């Protein structure tokens, strides 16, 4: 009975990790798109001048 519970626990952990990694990939893709949009919008809005699109 204990080995079966350990296998089920391992399956749950791996399933949770897979879901978390999948979610992190989507977050990374969304952040990349937002970053690229900010870069394009800022570059297009400078009127030919080179400007920084970020603020530090």
Any domain includes 50: no
What digits encode the pLDDT tens for the residues 37-53? 887 877 666 555 555 55
pLDDT per residue as tens digits for the range 13-31:
888 888 888 888 899 999 9
Q: End-to-end CA distance of the chain: give it in Å, rounded.
A: 58
In a domain, 8, yes or no: yes
Q: Cα separations (Å) of 8 from 3, 11, 28?
A: 9, 5, 30
Domain span holding position 22: 1-40
Does residue 48 belong to any structural domain of this protein? no
Cβ 53 vs Cβ 34: under 8 Å: no
| Number of folded domains that form the chain | 1
Q: Quick one: pLDDT at residue 46?
A: 58
Helices (H) and strands (E) in the chain, counts: 1, 0
pLDDT at 12 over 60: yes
């Amino acid at each position: 009975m204990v080995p079966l519970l350990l296998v089920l626990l391992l399956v749950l952990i791996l399933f949770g990790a897979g879901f978390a990694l999948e979610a992190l990939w989507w977050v990374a893709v969304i952040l990349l798109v937002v970053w690229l949009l900010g870069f394009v919008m800022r570059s297009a809005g400078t009127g030919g001048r080179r400007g920084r699109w970020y603020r530090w």
